[in-house]
Structures are given as C-alpha cells and as structure tokens.
Chains A and B, each alone.
Chain A
Amino acid sequence: MAITSISALDLRRMLDFAGHKIVAQEAYLNSLDAAVGDGDHGITMRLGFLAIAHALSELDPAAGLDVIFRKAGMSFMGATGGAIGVIFGKMLVAGAGPLHGVQQFGTVEFKILLREMELAVTNTGKAKVGDKTILDAVHAANQAMSDPDAQDMDLASVVSKAAQAAEKAARGTADRICRVGRASRLGARTLGCPDPGAVSFGIIVRAMADWLAESGSTA
C-alpha cells in the first residue's frame, strides 16, 4: 500500500537517516570543495547534521513539523558558520512558517517545503539559478514538482522524483562557472567540478526517498 504521508516522528527518523547518509559522504564532499574552496564542506555538513540530530533528540515527541524544521535549521546554523550555515539553516527554518500546527508530512507538505526552501535561498544569497550553487539543485527539485506526472504520486515517488531532479542539477553544476561567493574569484577554473552544496542537497533528498522506499511499506 503506497503511503501519502508520514508522522512528524517519522519525519525526524527520516532526517536522522539523511544525516547518516551525509556523514558517510564526508570525504567525498570535502574533495569536491577542495577543487573550488578550502575543502571543508563535508566537515561542515557533518557538524550541522550532528547538531540537528542532537537538537531533535531533545524535542517533545509531540512536536509538529514547524517546530522540527525551525529547531533543525537553527541548530544547523549555530553549529556550522560560513555561507552554507546560514543558507541551509534558513532553508530548513523556512519550512516552519507554512507548516505551523501540521503533524503529518505528505506530498503537499513536501512540495511546500521545497517551494519555501527555494524562496529562502533566493532571498538569502545573491545567487540566481545557473550560478553553480545549492540553488540549482533546489530549483530543479521544486520545478519537478509541477510536472503533470508528479500530481498523483505517493510520497515516496514524489520525493524520489525530486531527488532525481536535484541530483541531475547537481551534476550539471559541473558545466557552470561559479558566479557568487568566494569561489567566484576562480572563474573558469570552477568548470568541471560540481558545486558541493548542490551535491549535498541531492544526497539529502535521495536519502529521504530511500528511507521512504524502505520504511514506507511498514509505516
């Protein structure tokens, strides 16, 4: 039986699972960053997701989606620093606003989350789509949600579709020249390397899809 939504507690389990997947990719993410920056993106993501796991473990089991996303975002931001700390932290916090009082995470909530995340990145940084940043992956995932075939899917399929779009966009950043942030000074030297932030976003959404595919049947 395909599921259309999961509980707030399951959402926390899914975020925890995504954190493990990110931590497992630490060395790879560091190596991507070393090509265009100072080589610590994997470390930053690990610190951020460890902080999320710790913060969520202290939450009331009855906490709703808005509390979860705000807590996750603020703890990520507080533990990391750098541009990605604020940008990814604000992406998570942005999910809190429209999900106030909501207890079930389903396709509607997932689409709202992606929409709010894209708005948060756009409003926070100076990046536009195509500038070789995390925005490219977030935008692609969000766009994929308006496809006609994304309308009647179950949650696992919708998240998987978003993951596919995000991963493809993340790979595509390799063909782009970085236009914002510290790496923008590298100009054409950033060609050939995917943006680490975009890759991270793909890993996270893919992990969510995998968790849903495996755990969803028993949920």
Chain B
Amino acid sequence: MKKIVNNPNDFAREAIEGLALAYPQYIRQIPGVQAVLRRDAPVLGKVTILTGGGSGHEPMFAGYVGRGMADVSVAGNVFASPPPPPIYEAAKSAHGGAGVLFLYGNYSGDVLNFDMAAEMLEQENIAVKTVRVTDDVASAPPELLHERRGIAGDLLVIKVAGARAEEGANLAEVAAAAEKGNLCTRTMGVALGSCVIPASGRTIFQLGEQEIEIGMGIHGEPGVQRGPLKPADQLVSEMAARILDDSPMKVGDEVAVLVNGLGATPLAELLIVFRGLARSLSESGLTIWRSLVGNYVSSLDMAGFSISLMRLDADLKRWLAAPAETPALMQTLDSR
C-alpha cells in the first residue's frame, strides 16, 4: 500500500509538526513534545482543557486546539495513547491556574496513561478533573454507558467544554458541561473498508466487496454486525433508528448533527448521507438545529462514516454556537 511518509516510525511526530507549522495563528508546538498549545496559552484564570489520544484521527485531536476549544492536545503514536510524561508536560505548559479538565475518548490505554499523568499533576497541587467521551452506541449496551468508546462525539463535547471554559466557569462547572454534552451525544459508525497502519503497511481487517460493518470503531474494532451494502437512504435510516432507540430523544427535540467521514469517503457521499438523515430525523419529529459534514474525526484512510446526534437545550446551543478559532473548526459567533 502506498503511503506518503518519510520514515513510518516518524508518522505521528511529523504530522503534529506539520499541523503546528501550518497554523501558527492558532497553535504552537511544545518543543520536543508531541503536543500543541493554543497560541496564547497559558490563559490565566481560565480552566485549561487538555485533550489527546492516539494519532491517526486527524484533525482530531490537535486540530481542535485554539480559542473556544482545547488549550492543549497530546498525540501518541498511531492508535496508541501518549505516555504520561508528555501529558504531564503539556498540562503544565497550558495550565492557567484554574485547574485542568482532561477530556478524551474512553479507551483503556488512554485511561491508564491520562490517569497517571493526572496523579503526577495532583501531587503538585494542580487540580485535575476527567471526563471521558462515551458516545459510541455500538460499543456497549445502554446499561454500560460508561464503558462505551469515544468516537466522533469527541468533537461536539470538546466544543461544549471549550465554550464553557471561555465563559469563565470554574473547573467543576466546565466538567459538568462536558459531562452533559457527553450524555446528550450518541454516535453510530459504519465501515466500508480497513485503514492501512503506516508502520506495518497493512490493513487491519477485511470486508467483502459488497460488505459493510455497522458499529465499527475508529481503530478497526468490529461493530455490531456485518451485512450487505445497502442504498444510502436505507442504511442511514437504520443507523438513525438505532441511535434514537438508544437515546432519550423525543418528538420536538432539537439536535446538532455531525456526519463524519473516516478518511477515505468523498464529501459528496457524506452529503448524500446527510440528505437521507435529514429526512429520517424529520420523520421522527426531530429538528436539526446545526450540522457539520466532513472529515472531522478520521481513522487514517478508512472508508466509511459516522452519524452523531447531540440532543440540545439552551445551554448546549449557546456553547455550540460560541466562537472557535482552531485549525480544523473556525467559526464566528453564531447568533441566529
């Protein structure tokens, strides 16, 4: 498989360096660390939002560092959590004196490494709270919600937490906003084909020519079922039904929608997905308040997409509408 790399072992580091070089108006790299800070960090008196995880999900996580979202992001190697020392370094570099919220997707490797970094910070009397995103409907049943994986919903939850922190909220309030955003968000993904791991040059699973996997994770973990490829509208309406079955949404609710590409699916296909989804949600009595369609949380070059819905109230709408100035999400105050 062809890849544009220098040495595959340098994949994660060089991607982070490239991001920092490309967007100096928003971010800067911490020298010698696979981490980027918002340009004006530390922001004194503001709760610090720290995110991160394995590389390979670009533009997640580092692409969402900047005013209105995360203060700092730490990148591990491809699909592997960063170790505790750089997480600790990153938190120290970004800390504005009001505590640090660790906000990341729920995977055992990330939990072990981020928890250990949190302990190191707490030993220095830096307050840390942790919220783990658990939006993936397919990864565990509703009664085990806290065991679910975090996938594309990370983006919406980081947006919410970042906006709440910009409002001047304290650490407990920012964590509560993130937790609320997480609990209101559900995601369902579908894969059409495997990504290729740069270090091995190999795919990690095989699907038949006309086969898809519903509920696939963003590292190639299998989902709830394999089945035949279907027309877009039918596939999308089944996925929407699964999400709605799982969530406390009811007729009349407003939702934010994220139709996310996994890296190798053209935008036109994502737009066809969105079109079908808009119909499905309308038939279910839900109103789409705002939408994002694009490659926001990828899985290297995996083909496929995910659908995320966040059930909204006035607070969540205010936070999603707040300004953001990051490499991968740029918006002015959305006051409509």
Contact = CB atoms under 8 A, between A and B. Distances in A.
Interface of A: 30, 34, 37-40, 43-44, 77-87, 124-126, 180-183, 185-186, 189
30 contacts: A30-B200, A34-B200, A34-B204, A37-B204, A38-B80, A38-B204, A38-B220, A40-B200, A43-B199, A44-B77, A44-B80, A77-B84, A81-B81, A82-B76, A82-B80, A82-B81, A83-B108, A85-B109, A85-B113, A86-B112, A87-B112, A124-B112, A125-B108, A126-B108, A181-B108, A182-B108, A182-B217, A182-B221, A185-B221, A186-B222
B286 interface: no
Contacts of B202: 34, 39
Nearest to A84: B109
A189 B108 CA distance: 19
A40 B79 contact: yes
B116 interface: yes
> Chain A at the B interface: mostly helix, strand, loop or mixed?
helix
Nearest to A39: B200
Given A39-B204, A40-B78, A81 B113 contact: yes
Contact of B108 (A34, A78, A80, A180): A180
Contact of A125 (B107, B112, B221, B222): B112
Given A40-B79, A40-B80, A82 B221 contact: no
A185 B79 contact: no
Contact of A83 (B85, B112, B197): B112
Interface residues of B, number: 30
A182 B150 CA distance: 12
B300 to A, nearest CB: 10
Contacts of A182: 107-109, 217, 219, 221
Interface string B139-151: 1000000000100
A40 B197 contact: yes
B83 interface: yes
A185 B224 CA distance: 10
B63 interface: no
A37 B107 CA distance: 13
Nearest to A189: B222
B77 A81 contact: yes
Nearest to B85: A78
A182 B78 CA distance: 14
Given A81-B82, A85-B113, A40 B199 contact: yes
A185 B77 CA distance: 21
Contacts of A181: 108-109
A39 B116 CA distance: 25
B211 to A, nearest CB: 15
Contacts of B77: 40, 44, 81-82
A44 B221 CA distance: 19
B109 A83 contact: yes
A91 to B, nearest CB: 13
Contact of A81 (B80, B108, B139, B199): B80
A30 B78 CA distance: 14
A185 B222 contact: yes
B197 A39 contact: yes
Nearest to B8: A43
Interface string B115-140: 01000000000000000000000010
Nearest to A186: B222
Given A126-B108, A182-B107, A185-B217, A79 B83 contact: yes
Contacts of B112: 83, 86-87, 124-125
A189 to B, nearest CB: 7
Contacts of B78: 38, 40
A186 B222 CA distance: 6
A78 B220 contact: no
A181 B197 CA distance: 19
A124 B113 CA distance: 11
B79 to A, nearest CB: 5
A145 to B, nearest CB: 27
Contacts of A81: 54, 76-77, 80-83, 109, 113
A80 B199 CA distance: 14
A185 B108 contact: no
A180 B116 CA distance: 19
A70 to B, nearest CB: 14
Contacts of B220: 38
Given A40-B79, A81-B109, 8 more contacts: A37-B219, A40-B197, A78-B84, A81-B113, A83-B81, A125-B112, A180-B108, A189-B222
